[in-house]
Amino acid sequence: VLIEVYEATVAATTATSPRASNVATRGEVGTGANVLIAGFVINGTASRRMLLRGVGPTLTRFGLGQNAVLADPQLTLKDAAGVTLRTNDDWSTGGDAAIIAAAAVSGGAFALANGSKDAAMIIMLPPGAYTVQLSGVGNTTGIGIVEVYDVDP
């Protein structure tokens, strides 16, 4: 399934104009060509601060069984040319865990437990097209959510 969402503002984007603040999709995360992918575009001339998350284990808080969810998600961010810009596995083990947690609050995202196997990254990106790929560490499979938040103030 392909779902596309566009901001259709004709005038130049300003701090007060509408913008898509986040997009998320839940699905079965497979392997190879069957990983879960979210594409997004940053328009304009300014870089944007983006919060990207791949959630699996935390979904048990929302009624999904432990055996149904993606146990150890991994995120891969790619540019339009397919070049890998960054990867993340186990969001809270990096040096930017506190920044990610604060950005999730400001972006309206549900909290990820410190030490969870969920994946997340925060990154400044220049205008362009990007994809975020959600896969399972060790080619594992299960239900996951891939989320893209614009958390630029």
Q: Residues 112, 104: contact at Cβ < 8 Å?
A: yes
* 2: Cβ contacts below 8 Å, ≥ 6 apart: none
User: Considering the chain, what is the average pLDDT of its residues?
Assistant: 88
- 148 pLDDT band, cuts 50/70/90, is very high
Kindly report the three-state secondary structure assignment for every residue of 66-87: CCCECCCEEEEEEECCCCEEEE
**What pLDDT sits at residue 152?**
87
153 pLDDT tier (thresholds 50, 70, 90):
confident
Which residues have a Cβ under 8 Å from the Cβ of 4 and sit 6 or more positions away? none
The pTM of the full predicted model, rounded to 2 decimals, is 0.87
- Give the whole-angstrom CA distance, residue 2 versus residue 150: 21
Query: Residue 74's closest CA among 20, 133, 122?
Result: 133
Q: Is the pLDDT of residue 112 over 80?
A: yes
- Per-residue model confidence as pLDDT tens digits over 13-62: 444 444 557 888 889 999 999 999 999 999 999 999 999 999 999 999 99
What is the pLDDT confidence band of residue 73, given thresholds at 50, 70 and 90? very high
Distance between CA atoms of residues 72 and 120, nearest Å: 12
Residue 78 confidence class, pLDDT cut points 50, 70, 90: very high
Quickly state the pLDDT bin for 69 (edges 50, 70, 90).
very high
The yes-or-no verdict on residue 2 having pLDDT over 50 is no
Integer Cα distance of 130 and 12 in angstroms? 21
